[in-house]
Structure 1
Amino acid sequence: MKEDGAYEFDWQAWRREVRRDRIDTREALDAKDRAARNQRIDDWLRAGFGALGGLCIGFCWPFRGEPDARFAVRRWRAVGSDAALPVVVAPRTPLVFRHWWPGAPMEAGVYDIPYPVDTPERIPQAALVPVVGFDPEGYRLGYGGGYFDRTLAAMETKPISVGLGHEVARLETIHPQPHDIPFDYMVTETGIAARIDGQLHELTPEETDTHVRRLIAERGFVAAE
């Protein structure tokens, strides 16, 4: 309680409660419904983000009903992209991304999520990251470990960051804190939104392609030959 008698907002407790609720809601989706939503997300990625082909793509192995980015990654790999999965090295430290390909040696890590073992490190130029929640400013609610925020903050050049989630993840706000880093894009089953002037704005696939190409140029990324 503050000196004037008002209570300070406990954003951490709020996030814990909302996180549980959003994960439970996501996992409660009917399997066929979830598959259909995931297919629409993949369709939006196919339609709007082809320009990422040839860049190094970081992504996450699907967990607890998250959208599955592996189909999109397979397409980008077919046109020259490297793919990389995150590895938790130690608590409260940035993630390390390691090269992944079908058949790469894998072990179960935190939450039993698979990660590549002793493959070369990679620095993603684009990152597809699942969201537990997201808000109109492009801020992401994750699992509470802060790993992706630390990782993005530690990178010399921010990768093109694409949050993936179902519409059930949409929130009025996540009550962003100074350490939170907004994402460039959010993709749900209903469409694509880009962060422009501090707010998410819905874009068509054609508009997204133009916007992605501009970010690639601004950040100096060059696709592999």
Structure 2
Amino acid sequence: MVSDLLSVSIHQFKADCLQLCEQHYPTVHNRGMRGNHLGKTLCRRIMSTLSKADIPAELHQCHQDDALEQPIFRIETADFNLWIIAHRLVSANLARREALVQSVNTACQQIDENKQHHLLIVSDHWFDRSKASKEIPAWWLGQLPVNVNDYLADGIRLQECANTLPHCLQHQYLLSGGRHQIHHPLKRNGSDKTVHRYLLLTAYYQLQ
């Protein structure tokens, strides 16, 4: 049930991302969204979805500092807690990737055995010319996406990645069975052509 509710929320969230990018052009195009913009917008969508499903919920932000690079939110219902980690991949370097992996520890340390706990990680990234940037899809998914030729048509030659995010989450937190997805919510002006240079990344896990 939680997975289905999140699928609806993420679908609607993609439209929010398109609107946000248009309103804040060129800032978002140059540097990606701030973690708080990303996280709060997604949380609002999830809260709306829960409300429409007649599921009362409360939203909490674990840290109130707007400058926090990995904002962590908790949506609490009577039956489950949903942790949302919003991580800015302004840079694709290894330090930024490791920071994301470490932020998952906050959720894993606060699991209450009387409730189900779910984890949703959201990030975004604009490709640059670096090899690390071109590794992001494979790092996020655990393998290269099947539509590598679509990226190539936009001048992006994706790279394999040895140490992937699913592997790191499995190794450090024993998380498995996650659903990692890449979305491309942006379209070229005046057309339905996908902008592959912008990545919206989501990963969902049931923690218990």
Q: TM-score, normalized by length of structure 1? A: 0.33
Q: Please identify which structure carries the higher helix content.
A: 2
Higher Rg:
1
